[in-house]
Structure 1
Amino acid sequence: MKWFKRFLIASFSLALLGVGAIAAAYFYVLPDLPDVNTLKTVKLQTPLRIYSQDGLLISQFGEKRRIPVEYEDVPQQLINAVLDTEDARFFEHKGIDPIGIVRAATILITTGKKSQGASTITQQVARGFFLSNEKTYIRKIKEIFLALKIEKALTKKEILTLYLNRSFLGNRAYGVGAAAQVYYGKELDELTLPEMAMIAGLPQAPSAANPIRNPQRATNRRNWVLSRMLEKRNITQAEYEEAAAAPVTARYHGAEIDLYAPYISEMARDYMIQKYGREEAYTHGYNVYTTINSDLQRKAQTALRNNVFAYDQRHGYRGPGKVLWTETPINNEQILEALKAKPVIQGIIPAAVMAVSEQSAEFLTKHGERVTVEWSGLKWARKFITDKRQGRVPKTASDILNVGEQVWVRHNGDEWQLSQVPQVSSATVSLDPVDGAIQTLVGGFSFSQSQFNRVTQAKRQLGSNIKPFIYASALEHDYTLATLINNAPINKPDTRQGTAWRPKNSPDVYGGPTRLRVGLAQSINVMSVRALRHIGIDDAVDTLVSFGFDAQDLPRNESLALGSPSVTPLQVASAFNVFANGGYLVEPYYITKITDSYDNVIEQAEPTYACKPMPVDVEASQDLNSDDPFTAIPQDFEQVAELDINDTDSMAANVDEPQVEGPKVIDGYCQQDNLRKAKQVISEQTAFLITEALKSVIWGGGDWSKGTGWNGTAWRAARLIKRRDIAGKTGTTNESRDTWFSGYNPSLTSTFWVGFDDHTRQLGRTTWIADGPEGQISGAEAGAKTAGPGWNHFFNEALKGTPEIIKEPPQGIVSARIDLTTGKLTRKTDHTTSFEYFIDGTQPTEFVADAPETEDIFIDNSEEDLFQ
C-alpha cells in the first residue's frame, strides 16, 4: 500500500509536470504563433496567365505552377490515396494524432532517430504556411499548437483543400491540380488510379523521387501507396495488381499553351510588372485577357512566316552552317551531338547531309529522323552572292550540297525542303476599325531569335505609305479625286534640307497632267510633292499629327511627301484605321480585362469608339436626295461607263445594305450614350474618298478592252483576294530599305512591314528564273512585291467565308460623270469617261468641250513647263 501511494503521488506529480511543461511551452511559443484565421483568406501563389480574346492560354509567367482546385473537384480515389498515405485518421483526430506521436516516440527511443511520421495533414499545413522545415523540438511544439488552433478555425475539408493545393510535388508543380498537368497533361478527373497513386506519393521526396527524375524510386513509392489503399480497403486486390503493374507514363508537360503569341504576351507581362511589381504580378494569380483573335493571329503568323521564307529563298542559298566531316564519316551519335547545340527556329531544323543523289538528298535531322528532300525542295537554292545578285540556277543536287555539311531543313506542309534561317525581319499588326482592339500582332520572324518587338519598338521610314495622308489633307483643302496634278519633273528644288532635293518618280517616267486618284493609285512621287506644296508643310504636319504620328518624327521639308518620317507599324495601322472607320482616330489597345485568382474583374478596358450619336431619325438623316443628278452612286464607277448620269435607280441597286460592325456601334452610330467617342480627325466624306482611291491601288481603273485600262501598284492583291471591299497602299523607301503594305476593309485594318534590322542593308533585287515557281517575284524589292504578298495572303485567309461589305457613300457625297483626260463634266458615255465621287459642292461645274481643252485643267501654280 505504501508503494502504491508513492506510485500515485509520482504519477500525479509527473502529470502535473507534464501539464505544466505543456503550459509553459504554450506560453513560451505563444508570442510567436501566427493568427491561423489568415488561412481563411489565404492567397495561394499562382502564376500570371495571358489569354486571347476567346479564352485561349497564350502564356504563363511565374516560378510556381499551381492550379487551385476545390475539394469537390478532387476525385475521391485521389483523396483516399493521400489520406491512406499521409494521415489515415485525418477525419477522426483533432489536429494531432496521439497514436502517431506514440509511434514516433517509440522509433526515437529504439533507434535514436527523429521521424516525421507523427505529423498529421493539419500539422503539415501549419508547417507549410507558418513554419520552416527545420527539424527542431521548438518547431515541433509550435506545429502542434498551430494544428490545434487550425482545427478550431477551419473545417476538415478546408484544411485538406489547403494541403492539396499547397504541397510541393516536384518540377515547379504546387498542388495536385498542377501535378496532374505537369506529369500527365491531364485534368484531375482524367487521372487513372496508378497516376493518382503516383501523385499521392510525391510529397515525401518531390524533387528526388518524382517519376521524371527517378522513375524506379517513384514507382516503388507509388506501389507502396497502392498497398496502403488496399490495406484500407479503398481498392480491391484486382485493382491493386493492375495498377501496380502499370508502366510509368509520366513525362514533363509545359504550360498548356493553346496559342503561341509571344510578342503580345510579353507586352502584357511587361504591363503587369510595371503596374503591380514583379512579385505580385507573378504570384497573385492574375489573368490578363488580351484583344487578340486567336484565329486571325495564327493566320497572321503563317502569312508573315511564309512571306519571309519566300523573300529569303528568292535571294539565294547562303550555304551550310559548317562542315561536320569531309572524307571520314562520323557516326550518328557524333552527328547528333554536333547538332544538339543548334536550335530549331520556326520549324527550321538543323540537319546533316548524309547522301546526295542527282536531284535529291538525304538528311539526318537533329531529332534523329532521316528525311529525303526531292528536287522540288532543292531547286530554289541558287547561290546567294549579294542582296542584289544570285548565282546560276542549279541543275543537280551536287550543285548545292556536299555530304558532311550541316544545313537546315523544314517541312512546308506538303514536303521536306532545304532551308536556312532568314536574316530579313518583318512585323505585322491588325486592328479593329471601330474600337482599335489589336486583333493580331507579330513583332518579328522568331521570338526565340529576337525579343525586339518591331510592331511597337522599331521606327522605320514610312515611304509611300504616307501618301494617303498627304492627299487626305489636300482633299480637306480644295482638291478632288478628279483634280489634275502635273506629273512632270520638278525643277524647283527644296533647299530646306541643305541640299538641292529633286524628287523623281519610280520608275523615272512622267505622264503630264494626271488625276489625283490615278496619282495615288500608282504612287506617283512628283504628284505627292506638288500636293504637299499646295497645302503647305505646316498644314501637312498638322494633318499627320492628327492621325497619331509624333510631331518630332516629321521633318519639315518636302521629303515628307515621300515618306521620310520614321514611325512604328502600330502607328501606321492606327493611322490607316482612320480611313477604315470613317475619319476617327481610335486608340489602339490590347487588354480587354484583368481578373484576380477568384475571377473578379480588377481592370476593364474603356476603349474609344469610332461612332457618331444616334440621330432622331437615322433614315431621314441618310436621305441621298435622289432627285439631284450628282447623287447617282455606282458600285464601281470606272467599270460602268455605260450608266447614264441620271439613271439613279440602276446605280442605287448596286449598293448593299449597311453592315452591322459590332454590338456597340452599328453603321457608324453609337448604340450606347456612355461610350467613349473617338476624336474625328477628318470628315467622313474625306475618309470615303481616300478609301475609294485606295481601292484603285488594288483594282486599277479604265477599260482594258478599249486600251484605257491601268493597274494600281497593288494589283497582285486583286488577283488573289478577288473582292471589292478592300483598300490599301504600298510603301517603299529609298534603296528599298523598308517596304510596307497597309490596307483594310470595314472590319479589319492591317499593316505588314519587311526590312533588315540593320538600317543600312538594302532589300536588294532578284533575277527572273525561267523555270521558276508560278507567280514568282523578281526585280527590285518594293512594297508591292516584298510586304504586299504577306498582307495579301493574310487578308485572303482572314476574310475567307465572310460577305463583302460595300458601304454606302456618306451623306454629302455625290457622283458625276467626268472626262478622264480633263476631269471636267461630260455628256459622253464611252470609255473616255467615268463616274467620280465628290464632296457635294466640289464637283466640276464646267463641261468638257468637244476638242480637249488645256487651260485651267490642273492645279499647279508653278511657272515651269509641263513637258520639261
Structure 2
Amino acid sequence: MKWLVRILFALGAMAIVGALGVVGMYYYIKPELPSVAVLKDVRLQTPMRVYSADGELISQFGEKRRIPLNIEDMPPLLIKAFLDTEDSRFYEHPGIDFVGLGRAAVNLVLTGHKSQGASTITMQLARNFFLTREKTYIRKIKEMFIAWHIEQLLSKDEILELYLNKIELGHRAFGVGAAAQVYYGKDVKDLTLPEMAVLAGLPKAPSTLNPISSPERALARRNVVLARMKDMGDITQAQYDEASKAPNTAKYHGAEITLSAHYVAEMVRQEMVDLFGEDAAYGEGYQVFTTINSKDQRAAQQAVITNVLNYDRRHGWRGPVQKLKDWPWDESKIQDFLKGQMTYTPLIPAVVTAVQDQSATVEVKGKGKLELDWSAMDWARPFINENRQGPAPDKASEIVAPGDLVYVRPHGDGWLLAQIPEVNSAFVSLRPQDGAIEALVGGFNYYLSKYNRVTQAKRQVGSNIKPFIYSAALDNGFTLASLVNDAPINQWDRSQGYAWRPKNSPPVYNGPTRLRMGLAESKNVMSVRLLRAVGIDTVIDRLSDFGFPREDLPRNESLALGSASLTPMNVARGFSAIANGGFLVTPYLIDKVEDGYGNLVWMATPKVACAECEQMLAKAKPWPVVNDQEAAMDAAFAQLQGSGDVSWQEQCPVSYIGSNRLAPRAISAQTAFLVTQAMESTIWGGGSWNHGTGWNGTGWRAARELKRHDIAGKTGTTNESKDAWFSGFMPDLQATSWIGYDTYQHELGGTTRMKAITDDPIFGKEGGAKSAQPPWNAYMKIALDGMPEEGFPVPPGIVTVRIDRETGKLTRATDYTSRFEYFKAGTEPKTFARDTLANPFDGPLQPSQSSNDDIFAPAEPQKTGN
C-alpha cells in the first residue's frame, strides 16, 4: 500500500505539474496566438472568372484554383476517405487527439525520429490558416492551442467544410472541388471511388503524390487510402479489390473555358487590377461579366484566322520551319520532338516522313500519321516577295522533303499544308448606342504574339479617314449632290522642292463628280480638294470631335488621304458616332462585377446615344446654365421631372439613365445621316447598268455576300498598301477590320491568280476591299443572321428632292438620269439642270402636293442601288 500511495502521489503531482506547465505554456505563447474569430467570416481565396455577356467562361485568373463547396454538396464517401486517412477520430476528440499524440510520442522515444504525425484535421486547418509548415515543437504547441480555440468556435461540420475547401492538393488546386476539376475534369459528385481515394491521399505530400507528377506513387498512396477505408468498414472487400486495380485516369484539366478569347481576357485582367488592385482582383473570387457576345466573338475570331491564312496562302510557300538533323527518326522520337513544338490553333506542327509523286505522309503532333494529297499542297508555289510568287509546283518533292518540320491545319474533311503567317490582323465590333464591345480580336494568335493590335497598334488609316472629312464638308457648304472636280492635282511644294501629286487608286478620273460618288468610289483627289475648301484647321477640329487624338493628326494635306495613325479602336469609335446618329460613345468591355456570393460590386455606366432623350431635353429649354452642357442638361432633366409631364419618360427609351449619361455629340444627326447615305453607296453603288451608267462602290463585295440594304461601309488602303482597312455598320452594330505587317518594312503587295486556290478567289493588288473586307463580310453574315433588315432612321430636318445625276441640280426627269437625293432642309438645289424645264417657283423650293411631286418628296429611306 505504501508503494501504491507513493506511485499515485507521484502521478498526481506529475499531472498537476503537467497541467500547470500546459497553463503556463498557454499564457506564455498566448500573445503570439492569432484570433480565430476570423474563421466565422472566412473568405476563401478564389480566382477571378471572366464571362461573356451570355455566361460563357472566357478565362480565370489567380494563383489558387478553388471551387468552394458546402459540405452537403460533397459525396459522403469522399468525406469518409479523408476522415479515414487523416483523422478517423475527428468527431470524437476536442481538436487534439491525445491518443494519436501518445502514439507519436512513444514512436519518437523508440526511434528518435518524428516519423508519425499526430495532427488532427482541426490542427491541419489551424496550420493552413495561421501557421507555417516548419517542423518545430513550438509550432506544434501553437497548432494545438489554435485547434482547441477553433473547436470552441465552430461546429465539427463547419471545421470539416473549411478544411476540405482549404487543403492544398497539388497543381494549384485548393480544396476538393478544384482538385476534382484539375485532375479529372469532373464535379465532385461525379468522382469514382478510386478517384476519391487519390484525392484523399494528397494532403500528406501534394507535390510528390499527385497522379500527374508521380503516377506510380499516387496509385500506391491511393491503395493505402482504400485499405484504410476497408478497415474502417466504409467500403467492402469487393469495392476495395475493384478500386485498387483501377488504372490512373488523371490528367491535367484547365479551367472549363467555353469561349477562348485571350485578348479579351487580358484586357479584362488589366482593367480589374486597375479597379480593385492586384491582390483583390486575383483572390476575391470576382465574377466579371463582359459585353462580349459569344456568337459574335467566335465569328470574329474565325473570320480573322481564315482571312490571314488565305492571304498567306495566296502569297506562296516560304518553306519548312526547319530540317531535322540525323534523319530518319523513329515515330516515338518524332512525337517526343513534336510535343515541344507550339500549336497555334488551327496550325498543328508535323514532320514529313515520306514524299510521293503528288502526296506526302506527315506525322502530326498528337494525331499520328496523316496523308496530304495533292489538293492539300498544290497551292504552295514559291514565295519570292510580297508582290511575286514562283511557278505552280508539279510534284510534292518541289515543296517538302522527309525530315521537314511543317504545319498543317484542318480543312473541310481533310488537311492542308500550312505555315505560320507573317502578316497580322485586328478586328473589333461595337454596339453604337453605348460603345459596348461585342467582339474583339487583337491578332492572329495570342500565343504567337500577345500584342493587342486593336488597342495598341497605331496604323495609318488610309481612306478610312474620308467619311470624317466629308462630314466636315457637309457642315461647310457642301451637299451629297455638290460637284467636286475629280482630276489630277499637281502642286509645287516650295519648301520640299518637288510637286505633290496625289493620285486616285486606280488612277481613273471622272471630272466633276457628286460627293456621294466621290466617297463611295474613294476618290483621293476629291478628298484633298474638300480639305482645301474646308480648311485644315476645320478638318482637324472635326476629327478631334470624333475622339481622334490631335497629336496623331498631321497638319498637312496628306491627312485627306489618311496619313494619320490611329488604333482600330479609335477608328471603330469614330464610325460608331456616324452609325448612332452623331453621338460620341466610349468603348467599354466590362459590364458588371459580382463578388463570390453573387453580390454586385461594380457596374458600368456608359454614356449612351439617345436622340429621343435629347429631343425631350430640348423641350425644357432655356437651360439655366448655358456654359456647362452637362450641368445644363441636369437642370433640364430636373425641370422635366418636376413638371408633372411624364410623356418624356415614355418617349425616351433610356430616360432612367439621367442627363449625365447622354453621350456628347460629335456631329449633328443630319450630317451623320448624310455620311451614312454615301457609305451605303460604297456597298451598293449606283447608276443604271442597263443604260451603261452603273458603277460600283469600293465595298461592293458586301452587297453580293450579305444581300441587305441596311449596311454602310468604307474601305481604306494606305500608301504602298502597308495597311488595309474596312469599317462599316448597320444601325445596331459597327465593326472595323485591319490587316498588315507589324513592321512597316513590308507591304501587303499583290498576287497573280492561281487555279489551285478555288476557295479564295482574291488576286491582284491587295487593299482594303480585298484584304480587310473579307473578315468584315464573314463576321456580319453570322452576326446579322436572323436580324431583320432595318433602314437608317431619317432625322428631322432632312428632305429629298429629285436631282440630275450628272449635274446634281433639280430635274423633272424620272428616268435613269435622275435620282432622289437627301439634303439638310434649306441646302437642296434651287436651280434645274439645263436639259429640264425651268423652275416654275419664285423663291426657295417648298414641299407641295401639286405638279412638282416628282421633284420634291418626303424624306424616306431610299435604297441606294438604283
TM-score, with normalisation over the residues of structure 2? 0.90
Query: Is the 2:56–2:259 contact (alpha carbons within 8 Å) kept by the matching residues of 1?
Result: yes
- Please list the CA deviations of residues 695-742 of structure 1 after superposition, one character each: whole Å capped at 9, or x if unmatched: 111111111112111100011111111111111100000000110000
1:383: Cα distance to partner? Answer: 0.8
Residue 681 of structure 2 aligns to a residue in which SS? Answer: helix
Q: Equivalents in 2 of 1:108, 1:774: separation in Å? A: 77
| Structure 1 residues 54-93: aligned runs within 5 Å | 54-93=54-93
Percent identity reads 56
AA aligned to 2:711 is I
Residue 475 of structure 2 aligns to a residue in which SS? Answer: helix
- Please list the CA deviations of residues 188-244 of structure 1 after superposition, one character each: whole Å capped at 9, or x if unmatched: 122122211221121112111111122232223222222333333333343333323
The residue aligned with 1:111 is 111
- Please list the CA deviations of residues 481-518 of structure 1 after superposition, one character each: whole Å capped at 9, or x if unmatched: 11111111223456687754221111112111111000
Segment drifting more, 831-840 vs 569-578: 831-840
AA aligned to 2:278 is R
AA aligned to 2:766 is E
Q: Equivalents in 2 of 1:665, 1:557: separation in Å? A: 47
- Please list the CA deviations of residues 279-328 of structure 1 after superposition, one character each: whole Å capped at 9, or x if unmatched: 343223233222211111111010000000111011111112222269x6
Segment drifting more, 787-796 vs 358-367: 358-367
- Please list the CA deviations of residues 555-595 of structure 1 after superposition, one character each: whole Å capped at 9, or x if unmatched: 11111111010000000000000111111000111111223
Q: 1:407 to 1:52 in 2, by over 3 A?
A: same
| Structure 1 residues 20-419: aligned runs within 5 Å | 20-324=20-324, 329-367=328-366, 369-419=368-418
The residue aligned with 1:791 is 776
Asked if 1:678 corresponds to 2:677, the answer is no
1:460: Cα distance to partner? Answer: 0.4
AA aligned to 1:371 is L
- Give the number of aligned pairs: 809
AA aligned to 1:170 is G
Residue 242 of structure 1 aligns to a residue in which SS? Answer: helix
Segment drifting more, 508-517 vs 330-339: 330-339
Query: Is the 2:813–2:836 contact (alpha carbons within 8 Å) kept by the matching residues of 1?
Result: no
| Structure 1 residues 579-590: aligned runs within 5 Å | 579-590=578-589
Q: Equivalents in 2 of 1:341, 1:231: separation in Å? A: 45
Q: Equivalents in 2 of 1:314, 1:719: separation in Å? A: 22
The residue aligned with 1:446 is 445
Query: Is the 1:495–1:501 contact (alpha carbons within 8 Å) kept by the matching residues of 2?
Result: no
Q: Equivalents in 2 of 1:549, 1:512: separation in Å? A: 32
Q: 1:422 to 1:415 in 2, by over 3 A?
A: same
AA aligned to 1:674 is G
Segment drifting more, 233-242 vs 799-808: 233-242
The residue aligned with 2:824 is 839
1:262: Cα distance to partner? Answer: 1.0
Q: Equivalents in 2 of 1:554, 1:507: separation in Å? A: 26
Asked if 1:781 corresponds to 2:780, the answer is no
- Please list the CA deviations of residues 514-550 of structure 1 after superposition, one character each: whole Å capped at 9, or x if unmatched: 1100000000011111111121111110110000100
| Structure 1 residues 496-511: aligned runs within 5 Å | 500-511=499-510
Asked if 1:533 corresponds to 2:524, the answer is no
AA aligned to 1:698 is I
Q: Equivalents in 2 of 1:211, 1:358: separation in Å? A: 47
Query: Is the 1:494–1:557 contact (alpha carbons within 8 Å) kept by the matching residues of 2?
Result: no
Segment drifting more, 275-284 vs 417-426: 275-284
1:607: Cα distance to partner? Answer: 0.7
Q: Of 738, 747, 758, which residue of structure 2 is paired with 1:753?
A: 738
Query: Is the 2:47–2:64 contact (alpha carbons within 8 Å) kept by the matching residues of 1?
Result: yes
AA aligned to 2:656 is Q
The residue aligned with 2:644 is none
Q: Equivalents in 2 of 1:775, 1:133: separation in Å? A: 62
| Structure 1 residues 420-569: aligned runs within 5 Å | 420-493=419-492, 500-569=499-568
Residue 468 of structure 2 aligns to a residue in which SS? Answer: helix
Query: Is the 1:471–1:531 contact (alpha carbons within 8 Å) kept by the matching residues of 2?
Result: yes
| Structure 1 residues 652-667: aligned runs within 5 Å | none
Asked if 1:714 corresponds to 2:705, the answer is no
Segment drifting more, 17-26 vs 287-296: 287-296
Q: Structure 2 unaligned segments of length 5 or more: list them.
A: 620-647, 839-866
1:419: Cα distance to partner? Answer: 0.6
Q: Equivalents in 2 of 1:498, 1:761: separation in Å? A: 28
Residue 18 of structure 1 aligns to a residue in which SS? Answer: helix
1:774: Cα distance to partner? Answer: 5.4
Q: 1:728 to 1:666 in 2, by over 3 A?
A: farther
1:770: Cα distance to partner? Answer: 4.8
AA aligned to 1:599 is G
- Please list the CA deviations of residues 807-840 of structure 1 after superposition, one character each: whole Å capped at 9, or x if unmatched: 3312222111111011111111111111111111
Q: Equivalents in 2 of 1:544, 1:499: separation in Å? A: 28
The residue aligned with 1:636 is none
Residue 799 of structure 2 aligns to a residue in which SS? Answer: strand
Q: 1:852 to 1:115 in 2, by over 3 A?
A: farther
Q: Equivalents in 1 of 2:75, 2:497: separation in Å? A: 78
Query: Is the 2:323–2:404 contact (alpha carbons within 8 Å) kept by the matching residues of 1?
Result: yes
Q: 1:153 to 1:454 in 2, by over 3 A?
A: same
Q: 1:528 to 1:668 in 2, by over 3 A?
A: farther
AA aligned to 2:601 is I
Q: 1:846 to 1:257 in 2, by over 3 A?
A: same
Query: Is the 1:497–1:557 contact (alpha carbons within 8 Å) kept by the matching residues of 2?
Result: no
AA aligned to 2:518 is G
Q: Equivalents in 1 of 2:650, 2:230: separation in Å? A: 65
1:802: Cα distance to partner? Answer: 1.7
Q: Equivalents in 2 of 1:735, 1:615: separation in Å? A: 44
Q: 1:61 to 1:329 in 2, by over 3 A?
A: same
Q: Equivalents in 2 of 1:268, 1:573: separation in Å? A: 19
1:338: Cα distance to partner? Answer: 4.4
Query: Is the 2:180–2:187 contact (alpha carbons within 8 Å) kept by the matching residues of 1?
Result: yes
Q: 1:775 to 1:335 in 2, by over 3 A?
A: closer
Q: Equivalents in 1 of 2:710, 2:57: separation in Å? A: 33
Segment drifting more, 579-588 vs 151-160: 151-160
Segment drifting more, 781-790 vs 490-499: 490-499
CA RMSD between the two structures: 2.4
1:790: Cα distance to partner? Answer: 1.4
1:433: Cα distance to partner? Answer: 0.8
The residue aligned with 2:683 is 698
Query: Is the 1:66–1:175 contact (alpha carbons within 8 Å) kept by the matching residues of 2?
Result: yes
The residue aligned with 1:688 is 673
AA aligned to 1:807 is F
1:360: Cα distance to partner? Answer: 1.9
Q: 1:498 to 1:273 in 2, by over 3 A?
A: farther
Query: Is the 1:481–1:689 contact (alpha carbons within 8 Å) kept by the matching residues of 2?
Result: yes
Query: Is the 1:611–1:665 contact (alpha carbons within 8 Å) kept by the matching residues of 2?
Result: no
Segment drifting more, 221-230 vs 546-555: 221-230
Q: Equivalents in 2 of 1:457, 1:673: separation in Å? A: 31
The residue aligned with 1:652 is none
Q: 1:487 to 1:616 in 2, by over 3 A?
A: closer
Q: Equivalents in 1 of 2:384, 2:732: separation in Å? A: 43
AA aligned to 1:445 is F
Q: Equivalents in 1 of 2:21, 2:508: separation in Å? A: 104
Q: Equivalents in 2 of 1:498, 1:152: separation in Å? A: 91
The residue aligned with 1:625 is none
AA aligned to 2:529 is R
TM-score, with normalisation over the residues of structure 1? 0.89
Query: Is the 2:490–2:499 contact (alpha carbons within 8 Å) kept by the matching residues of 1?
Result: no
